Structure 1
Amino acid sequence: MTTTATPDTRRNASPYLYGEEAAAVARVLEAGQYGHTDVTEEFERRIAEFLGVRDVVAVMSGTAALHTALLAAEVGSGHEVVVPSMTFCATIQAILAVGATPVFVDVDPATLCVTDQLVMDAVSDSTRAVIPVLFGGRAIDFSRVRKKLAARQIAIVEDAAHAFGSRNGARRVGATGDLTCFSFGPIKNLTCGQGGIVVPRSFAEASMIRRLRMLGVAQSQTERAHTTSYSVEGFGLRYQMSGINAAIGLAQLDHFDKVETTRRRLWHAYRRALVGLDGVTLVDVDPDRSVPHLCQVLIPHRDEVHAHMKARGIGVGVHYPPNHLQPAFTEWRRELPATEQVGAQVLTLPFHQHLTEADVGQVVTVLGQSLKTVGAASCARS
C-alpha cells in the first residue's frame, strides 16, 4: 500500500507558536530597546517561579548557559569533566571553551542517559565537574552520589537542554540543587527563538554569571542607567538574552500546560503504535514525569531505513552521532561499546506539536514498510 506523507510528517520539527509571539515582539521593537531589558528580567522571574527556584540567569543560548555554568563552578585548565558522548556537540565545546578535558562515558541503551554508577566509575582526582545530559527530556537521579561528589568538590552541571518542564521526583528539573542549564532554541519544549538559562546554586554564582553574560560589567542595566560609569570586574562575554527573545519566551510560557499535555499524548501514541513492529526498541523517556523532547527508536539497518523513510517524505533524523568518534574530539576517544551500538541504531521519529495521532500512525506504518523492504534487500544480498 502506498502512503502519501502529510506536510506534518514530511517536515522536521519547527517552532509551535500560539499567536501572541508576534505582538509581544512588536511591543519590544516599538519600545526601542533590543538588548537586555526589563522584559528579560520579567522572563527570569517567571521562569524561576515556574521551576520553583529562587533565581535564574537568562543568557543567549543553551551553549552559553553551559559555558557560564562551568565558569561559575570554577572549571578550567587542568580539570576533567565527565560527560556522555551521546549528546549534541555543544556540550563538549562548552567544556573545551573553559580549557578543561572531556572524559567521555557510556550510556544506558534503554534511555540514552548516563547513570550515576557510570559517572562515578569515570571520576578521578582531576575531575571538577560531571555533566549528566537529560536526553530526550528524561530526568537523571544523582541523589545517591551527590554527597560523594560534593565531598570531592565536583560540581554537577545538568545539561537539561531537552528537559524544560520535566520532573525529578516531585520537583521540576532545575530545582534539585545542582547547576542546571536549559536551552530555549527554535525547537525546544519552550522557545525564545534563541536563548537559555542557568539555575545557579548560590547568590554568588548568580552574580558571577550575570557579570559573565555582560562582558564582566558588575552593574545591571538598570543601575547603569543612573550612573556616569560602571565597573568591569573580570572576564566576560556578550551572552545576555535580548528583550526580543524574552518576549517570545513569555508568550510561550503562558501555554506550557498545552506543551506538557500534547507532547506526552503524542509520545504515548507512538508507544502504542510501535508495539506491533518486530526489531524496534523505543527509547524510554519516562513520559509520565518528563515533558518529552524526542521520540527515538533503535532499529537494525538504521542508515538504509533512514534513507528509505526520507524518500517516502517522512522527516526522520539522528540524534546524535557519538562525539567520541568525531574528528574534533579524537584526542579524547575511548571505547564506549553501548554508545557505539546505539549510535549506529538510533533513529529520531518526527516529534513536534504540529503532529496529530493520525500522523503518528502514518510514520509508524512507513517505518514498518521500510524495515521490511530494507530487511528483504539485506537478505537478498547475503
Structure 2
Amino acid sequence: MTTTAVTPDVAHNARPYLYGGEEAAVASALSAGQYNHGALTDEFEQRVAGLLGVPDVVAVASGTAAIHIGLLAAGVGPWHEVLVPSFTFCATVQAILATGAQPRFVEVNPGTGCVEPAGILAALTPRTRAVLPVLYGGRAVDLTPARPALDEEGVTVVEDAAQAFGSWQGDRRVGATGVVTCFSFGPIKNLTCGLGGAIVPRTPLEADTCRRLRGLGIVESAAHRAEATTYTVDGFGMRVQMSPLNAAIGLVQLQHFAEAETRRRELWRAYAAALDGANGVALVDADVPHTVPALCAIRVLNNRRDRIFRKLRQDRVGVGVHYPPNHLQPAFAAWHRPLPVTERLGQEIMTLPFHQHLTPADAEYVAGMIRQALAGANR
C-alpha cells in the first residue's frame, strides 16, 4: 500500500463541498432583495419534503434551532427531562436547556455510537417528556421496540438527525418514520445551505406551531403581512427563519444529492476496506447500505488514541474527535451520571478525514498512515 501520493485535502477533517452553481444562485437571491424569508425558502421546504416523502418541512436558521423548536413543539418545557446520549455535539444538550428542561444522559452502543431501546426504557423517569436520539454518523436509530411504552407515558421522540439527511430506516427516509425529526444543513453536512436546519413535523398543527416559533410568534405569513395593516402575535417565538440566501445554496445542493449519496458511501467503504484487519482499531458501524454517512469514525483501542491522534496531526492527517462526552463537561455537571461505556468511547473515538473532495485513494493513504502510527506505538 502506497503512502506517498495524496492530495492536501486529507489535512481537513471535513470541508464543504460545492457543485458549482451555488455562487450564481446566491447572487440571484441577493439581487431579489428579500433576505429574511421568501419564496426560495418555501421552495426549499417543498423540495426537501418531496425528497423525504413527507407532507411538510419547516426550514430554520440552524440544526440547533431545529432541535430547540422541535422540542418546544412537542411540549417540552421547565421541569421536564429529555433523555439524550452524552455522546453527541454539545449543541444537542444546549437545545434542551434552552427549553427550560433538563438532560438525562444515557449510554450508547460503543459499536455504533447510538442509543438503543433497552437503554432508553431503563432511563425513563416520571419527569421524562421526550427522547432525543442522536443519529451518529448518519445511522438511523430505530426505537420501534420502545415506542409502545413511550407512547403510554406520553413521551415524544424528537430525532437529532443533524448528520443523517438522506439516510434510510427500512424503506423510508429518516424524517418519514413518524417522529419529529431535526436536520442540520451546516457547512460540512451531507447537504449544506451554508447554515440552516429543518424540522419534519408530525401534523399540520405541529407544523403551524414550528412556523410561529421560528418567526417571533407571528400568526400570519410574511406574504400576508405585506398586504395587511396589522398582524397577530399569539405566543413565544424567535427569529430563526432560514434566509433565502441559504435556501438558494440548498436548492442547488439538492439537485446533486444522488451524487453525494454515492460518493459518501464509496469513501466510507474505501476506509472500511483499507482498515480491514488493522490491529488496535475498530470501525464504528455506520450501517452504510442504509446510511448517507456524515463521517467515518474508528475506536483506537488499548489507551493509545491520544498518541495516535497527535502523530497523525503532526503528519498533516486531519483526524478529529467527535465527541467528548457531555456529562463530563463543566456546563453540564449538574446532570452527571456514571456512564462507563460512553466514557471509554470518549477516550477511544477518532474521526477520519471525510468529505467529498476525497477519493478512495485518499482513504487508502490515511489508512496507511494509521497503520504506520499504530506500528510506531507498538515499538
- TM-score w.r.t. structure 2 length? 0.98
CA contact (8 A) 1:3 1:366 kept: no
Shift of 1:5: 5.2
- Secondary structure of 1:264 counterpart: helix
CA contact (8 A) 2:13 2:352 kept: no
- In the alignment, structure 1 residue 358 sits paired with structure 2 residue 335: no
- Secondary structure of 1:144 counterpart: helix
> In 2, distance between residues paired with 1:303 and 1:228?
62
Trace 1:267-282 onto structure 2 (pairs within 5 A).
267-282=268-283
- Secondary structure of 1:288 counterpart: helix
Corresponding residue for residue 310 of structure 1: 313
> In 2, distance between residues paired with 1:331 and 1:143?
31
What amino acid does structure 2 have at the position aligned with 1:249?
G
What amino acid does structure 1 have at the position aligned with 2:378?
G
> In 1, distance between residues paired with 2:362 and 2:76?
45
What amino acid does structure 2 have at the position aligned with 1:351?
F
Shift of 1:81: 0.4
- In the alignment, structure 1 residue 331 sits paired with structure 2 residue 329: no
Shift of 1:375: 2.8
Moved more, 153-162 or 6-15: 6-15
Q: Deviations over 1:317-375 (max 9, x none)?
A: 00000000001001111111110111000110001100011111110011111111123
Trace 1:141-220 onto structure 2 (pairs within 5 A).
141-220=142-221
Corresponding residue for residue 28 of structure 2: 27
- In the alignment, structure 1 residue 74 sits paired with structure 2 residue 75: yes
What amino acid does structure 1 have at the position aligned with 2:287?
D
> In 1, distance between residues paired with 2:92 and 2:3?
41
Corresponding residue for residue 379 of structure 1: none
- Secondary structure of 2:307 counterpart: helix
Q: Deviations over 1:165-208 (max 9, x none)?
A: 00000000000110000000000000000000000011111111
CA contact (8 A) 1:40 1:246 kept: yes
Q: Deviations over 1:251-301 (max 9, x none)?
A: 000000001100011111111000131111000000000101110110131
- Secondary structure of 1:319 counterpart: coil
> In 1, distance between residues paired with 2:48 and 2:269?
27
Corresponding residue for residue 240 of structure 2: 239
Corresponding residue for residue 380 of structure 1: none
> In 2, distance between residues paired with 1:142 and 1:40?
32
> In 2, distance between residues paired with 1:323 and 1:247?
34
> In 2, distance between residues paired with 1:176 and 1:9?
36
Corresponding residue for residue 65 of structure 1: 66
> In 2, distance between residues paired with 1:2 and 1:59?
43
- Secondary structure of 2:104 counterpart: strand
CA contact (8 A) 1:5 1:313 kept: no
Corresponding residue for residue 40 of structure 2: 39
> In 1, distance between residues paired with 2:350 and 2:290?
23
Shift of 1:35: 1.3
Corresponding residue for residue 372 of structure 1: 375
CA contact (8 A) 1:5 1:314 kept: no
What amino acid does structure 2 have at the position aligned with 1:56?
V
> In 2, distance between residues paired with 1:207 and 1:228?
22
Aligned residues: 376
Identity among equivalent positions (%) equals 57
Corresponding residue for residue 50 of structure 1: 51
Corresponding residue for residue 124 of structure 2: 123
> In 2, distance between residues paired with 1:185 and 1:65?
12
Corresponding residue for residue 91 of structure 1: 92
Shift of 1:225: 1.2
> In 2, distance between residues paired with 1:250 and 1:109?
36
